[in-house]
Amino acid sequence: MHMNLVIIAHNIRSAYNIGAIFRAADGMGAKKIYLTGYSACPHTEKYVYLRPHEKMISKTALGAEKSIAWVYFKSIGQALKGLKSEGFEIVALEQHPSSIPYSKYRPAGKVAMVVGNEPRGIDARILRQCDRIIEIPMRGQKNSLNVAVALGVAGYGILEADARRNTKQKICHSKRNKR
């Protein structure tokens, strides 16, 4: 069983990055993408022709924008409020003094991962609404990765942690049943 993972892409200025986020999210089996703020949106049936940003998304998503559900919210606050009411743990991926390495994070249930603007990161007001902040420890000269690459690294790390947790629970449960 796959964990219930959704992605929140907030204020992502590059349509190419949005396409890559769709592709990574699809590969991870994410259930939905929430596009918020000024993040570009994929093509909808509202328009006959692809607009320039839709072409960019389509080029990098390679069809993933059609295979994963998505929704747009102007306000990230609305998206976070709705997800919290559905029982999601809101996890920001951000370099921050109170963040923990993504490899130490242990998901307990449904996870909504927030990724944000590359130059400025995720705003402090948004971080305060998050339940947890995780980061990818950087070893080189630069202090961050491309947003879509970072999503892939941390997202698969969270999925792996969840799979290990579920395997341990199944093993413990089956041992109890044999007694």
Yes or no: say if 76 and 37 are a contact pair by the CB < 8 Å rule. yes
At residue 125's C-alpha, the angle toward residues 82 and 105, to 5°, is 70
Model-wide pTM > 0.95: no
Superfamily name with CATH number, domain 5-178: SPOUT methyltransferase, trefoil knot domain (3.40.1280.10)
Residue 61 CA to residue 71 CA, distance in Å, equals: 16
* All residues at 6 or more sequence positions from 33 whose CB lies less than 8 Å from its CB, including other chains: 6, 7, 8, 9, 21, 22, 25, 68, 69, 70, 71
Domain ranges across the chain = 5-178
Of 37, 81, 38, 33, the C-alpha closest to 61 is: 33
Q: Per residue of the chain (179 residues), what is the pLDDT tens digit?
A: 467 999 999 999 888 888 889 999 999 999 999 999 978 777 666 555 556 666 666 656 656 677 788 899 999 999 999 999 999 999 999 999 999 999 999 998 999 999 998 888 999 999 999 999 999 999 998 888 899 999 999 999 999 988 887 776 554 544 555 55
Alpha-carbon separation of residue 90 from 77, 107, 132 (angstroms): 12, 10, 7
